[in-house]
Amino acid sequence: MPPKNRIKKFKPKKRYKLNTTTVINSKTGIIVFSLMAFLFFSIHIIKNISKIKLSGKTLFSNTIKSSKVSIPDIEISNIIREISSNYRNSIFNKEIQDQIYHEIKDKFPYLDPVNINFNKITGNLNITANINKSIGIIKTGKESFFLLENGKISPISYNKQEELMEIFANKKDFDEKEVSLIKKFYTNKKQLPFDFKIIINDNKILLINENLRINWGSFKHFDYKLKRLKDVLNDATQKLSPPLEIDLRFFEDGKIIVSQSQLNLIK
């Protein structure tokens, strides 16, 4: 007989309950504690920040505590530093600024521009200025002034008076073209084979000495005109006896007029 099919009984396996234990790392605990402390501190600050009042005086001050002078002359810088030291511990304002400015300009009128700035955080007074050299001595009757390279006049000169040209004029103010031309005469005077004085009258510019009078003409073509003038002088002094007159007013038309003068040119 074939074997009978038998139904096997299923017996479920026995299950075991696992006990879970949570372990907190010590580093994690420190981080959590720090975050909680930071959060608590932040909340405390936010609640009390409106009670904190900062006075502007704790950050800014108008009291002059020190000074810095930037001028390309050590001796002048030291004198101006002494002037500014008299205002130490003073309250900086427009009146004090003007006083310092006028003290500097009275002593050194050829300094221009003079800039005086104050730092409210450091309390430092910063003074800067440019030196303007003289390019000529202006003589207007009984008065004499120094013409500076910036076109202004000064009662005293930074550079030596012996180096300067004499300028006879019936005015004290010169326009930009006149100043530029005088400055060119000053910087190129060694290229001319004679000493000379300058006369400016009614926009006419003359170069004169005892033996020569030159009517310079227009302000244009200075370098070329100077070169041609030297050539003409070399030729004229070999052919004509002084005193001579040279007219450059028609230079742009290609003409230079040379003649003998019967006048006393120095007068």
Q: Would you say 64 and 120 are in contact if contact means Cβ atoms under 8 Å apart?
A: no
- State the pLDDT at residue 61: 84
Per-residue exposure over 249-267, b if at least 16 CB sit within 10 Å of its own CB, e if not: eebeeeebeeeeeeeebee
Domain segments of the chain as ranges? 58-131, 134-260
Is the pLDDT assigned to residue 165 strictly greater than 70? yes
Q: How confident is the model at residue 1 (pLDDT cuts 50, 70, 90)?
A: very low
Which pLDDT band holds residue 267 (cuts at 50, 70, 90)? very low
- CATH code, residues 134-260: 3.40.50
Per-residue pLDDT tens over the stretch 171-230: 888 889 999 999 999 999 888 878 899 999 877 899 999 899 999 999 999 999 999 999
Q: Is the entire prediction scored with pTM above 0.95?
A: no
Q: Kindly report, residue by residue over 135-164, the tens digit of the pLDDT.
A: 999 998 888 999 999 999 999 999 998 889
> Which CATH class for the 58-131 domain?
alpha beta
Phi/psi at 195 (5° precision): -85, 150
> What is the overall mean pLDDT for the chain?
83
Residue 214 CA to residue 195 CA, distance in Å, equals 12
pLDDT of residue 40: 65
Distance CA(99)–CA(103), nearest Å, equals: 6
Q: Which residue has the higher pLDDT, 164 or 42?
A: 164
Compute the average pLDDT of residues 111-125. 96
